[in-house]
Amino acid sequence: MGTGVIELDNISYNYGGGELLSDVSLQLQPGSFHFLTGPSGAGKTTLLKLCYGALLPTSGRLMAFGEDIATTDRDQMALLRRRIGVVHQDCRFLDHMTLAENVALPLMVSGRGENGTQENLTELLGWVGLGGRLEAHPPELSGGERQRAALARAVILSPDVVLADEPTGNVDWEMSQRLLHLLVELNRMGKTVLIATHDLSLIRAAKSQVQARVLRIAQRRVQLAGADL
């Protein structure tokens, strides 16, 4: 195997109704920036779920940080998952908690909510432009604020890899540029970034900011897209 932080080797996946992904091989090299595109229903979310271990491949081998996840026990898996920050398509906030509490939740769950975290949290929320919204509750937030909060929550444990599922799905162009810029900044900090999107204009806009590879799911396989986007 190679040296990717996440490596898929001839992975296939099926939910029970026929194969959705077939013989998918790809490597996310440390510090790389990838887009994953393809039509609705092609399997982008499914592929991300495989990458962060929420789904196990039907066949093939998946390595995360050099560990074969088929032989990884629960504790090791939990540690591996902490190295991968995920921005989910639907954000998934707890409405009764404040924005700050929601974003800090991964720290609490992982037992890292000790001294100094308030400072880090404030700094992180300032970075995504939500420094003045710490006490707001999720239903009070706009779509763009929710997406930025989801990004903050995904990186609060300082993961090595950031996987973002349609992070600009429900926001206007200006906000999608702002979110893209944050993801590019994370990549410049050394994080490996993979963004699933069907927004080709976002991919075009990224080209002037970052050296991104574009993967496309077509006919159950993942291919490297050409320069014709």
Task: Identify which of residues 130 and 215 has a Cβ nearer to ligand ATP in the complex.
Answer: 215
Nearer to ligand ATP, 112 or 198 (CB): 198
The interface region with ligand ATP, picked from 41-49, 108-116, 120-128, 170-178 by CB under 6 A, is: 41-49
- What residues from 188 to 227 belong to the interface with ligand ATP (CB under 6 A)? 198
Count of beta carbons in the 10 Å neighbourhood of residue 199: 18
Going by the DSSP 8-state scheme, the letter that residue 191 receives in this structure is -
Strands 221-224 and 212-218: antiparallel
Q: Judged by CB under 6 A, which of 8, 33, 34, 44 binds ligand ATP?
A: 44
Least separation, in Å, of the C-beta of 35 and ligand ATP?
Answer: 13
> Alpha carbon of 214 to those of 9, 18, 37, 55, 113: distances in Å?
18, 26, 7, 23, 37
CB of 166 to ligand ATP, least distance (A): 6
Which of 20, 62, 86, 183 touches ligand ATP by CB under 6 A? 20
Residue 17 CB, shortest distance to ligand ATP, in Å, is 7
Between 113 and 169, name the residue whose CB sits nearer to ligand ATP. Answer: 169
Name residue, tokens 């491949």: 57
- Kind of pairing, strands 192-196 and 161-165? parallel
DSSP string, 43-88: SHHHHHHHHTTSS--SEEEEEETTEEGGG--HHHHHHHHHTEEEE-
Q: Would you count residue 43 as binding ligand ATP (CB under 6 A)?
A: yes
Cβ burial, residue 74 (10 Å; 0-12/13-18/19+): exposed
Among 15, 78, 140, 188, binds ligand ATP (CB under 6 A): 15
Scanning residues 124 to 153, which ones bind ligand ATP (CB under 6 A)? none
For 196, half-sphere exposure in the C-beta direction (CA atoms, 13 angstrom radius) is: 23
Which residues in this chain contact ligand ATP in the complex, by CB under 6 A? 15, 20, 38, 40-46, 198
